[in-house]
């Protein structure tokens, strides 16, 4: 926990001035603090998770289909504070207000379409453990004719920011936009992400 690297350099030599030999030496040591690595990942599912999703698959124009978006945050060596994730929903995606677990602080601004997950503090070495932070939320997508033959974005690029408690550094991680391609769902079959008429 709280990794650091210590670098020590020592130099010695002989100086001869006015036929008087003199031995010189110097040593310097510095400790460099290493920041933690926080990582945000995002995925979309339909048949697993805390919510029941409805609607046609593949999605059909003019008919709503719901999806569960899953954000996961992992952290490595130092605890972090003030962690939060922000993203935006496209205008054609509806926020349904369903969040799990309910203990996670997720808010949505209808006017801007912005989602904010206020995580707060994250402990160390969370990868693959019960200490990782994860949240699920449900959205609804009603495609228009213009979406036919496309796999539209459900959530725009998400950004995680946090402060490393050990180094004081600002940390950041980004997750690309997630689309109707719910390929991490065990029921997914190729072609189910593309909007049809």
Instruction: Read off the pLDDT of residues 105-145 as tens digits, 9 standing for 90 and up.
Output: 999 999 999 999 999 998 887 777 778 899 999 999 999 99
- pLDDT classification of 40: cutoffs 50, 70, 90: very high
Among 13-22, 25-34, 137-146, name the one with the lowest average pLDDT. Answer: 25-34
Residue 3: per-residue pLDDT: 55
| Residue 196 Cα distances to 35, 99, 145, 156, 160, angstroms | 47, 29, 9, 22, 34
62 pLDDT higher than 80: yes
Distance (Å, rounded) from C-alpha 40 to C-alpha 115?
15
Report the candidate in 76, 81, 87, 85 with the shortest Cα–Cα distance to residue 38: 76
Report the candidate in 173, 174, 168 with the shortest Cα–Cα distance to residue 35: 168
Mean pLDDT over all residues of the chain?
A: 89
152 pLDDT higher than 60: yes
- pLDDT classification of 29: cutoffs 50, 70, 90: low
Q: Which residue has the tokens 């899953």?
A: 70
Distance (Å, rounded) from C-alpha 72 to C-alpha 30?
36
Structure tokens at 105: 């602080």
For the segment 41-62, the average pLDDT, to the nearest whole number, is 96
1 pLDDT higher than 60: no
Contact between 178 and 139 (Cβ < 8 Å): no
61 pLDDT higher than 90: yes
Dihedrals phi, psi of 146, to nearest 5 degrees: -70, -15
185 pLDDT higher than 60: yes
Torsion-angle region of 113 (φ positive above 0: left; ψ -120 to 50: alpha; else: beta): left
180 pLDDT higher than 90: yes
- pLDDT classification of 85: cutoffs 50, 70, 90: very high
Distance (Å, rounded) from C-alpha 104 to C-alpha 117?
8
Residue 167: per-residue pLDDT: 84
Residue 32: per-residue pLDDT: 53
Residue 117: per-residue pLDDT: 98
Peptide bond just before 58 cis, omega within 30 deg: yes
36 pLDDT higher than 80: no
For the segment 89-107, the average pLDDT, to the nearest whole number, is 97
Residue 8: per-residue pLDDT: 62
- What does R_g of the chain's alpha carbons equal in angstroms? 25
9 pLDDT higher than 80: no
């Amino acid at each position: 926990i709280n990794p650091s690297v210590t670098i020590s350099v020592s130099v010695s030599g002989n100086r001869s001035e006015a036929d008087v030999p003199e031995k010189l030496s110097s040593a310097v040591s510095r400790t460099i603090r290493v920041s933690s690595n926080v990582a945000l990942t995002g995925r979309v599912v339909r048949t697993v998770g805390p919510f029941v999703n409805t609607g046609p698959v593949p999605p059909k124009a003019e008919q709503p289909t719901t999806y569960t978006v899953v954000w996961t945050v992992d952290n490595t060596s130092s605890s972090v504070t003030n962690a939060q994730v922000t993203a935006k929903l496209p205008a054609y995606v509806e926020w349904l207000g369903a969040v799990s677990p309910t203990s996670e602080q997720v808010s949505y601004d209808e006017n801007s379409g912005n989602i904010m997950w206020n995580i707060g503090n994250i402990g160390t070495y969370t990868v693959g453990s019960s200490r990782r932070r994860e949240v699920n939320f449900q959205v609804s997508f009603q495609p228009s004719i213009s979406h036919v033959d496309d796999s539209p974005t459900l959530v725009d690029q998400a950004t995680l920011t946090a402060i490393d408690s050990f180094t004081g550094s600002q940390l950041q991680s980004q997750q690309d936009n997630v689309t109707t391609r719910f390929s991490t769902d065990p029921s997914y079959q190729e072609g189910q992400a593309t909007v049809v008429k």
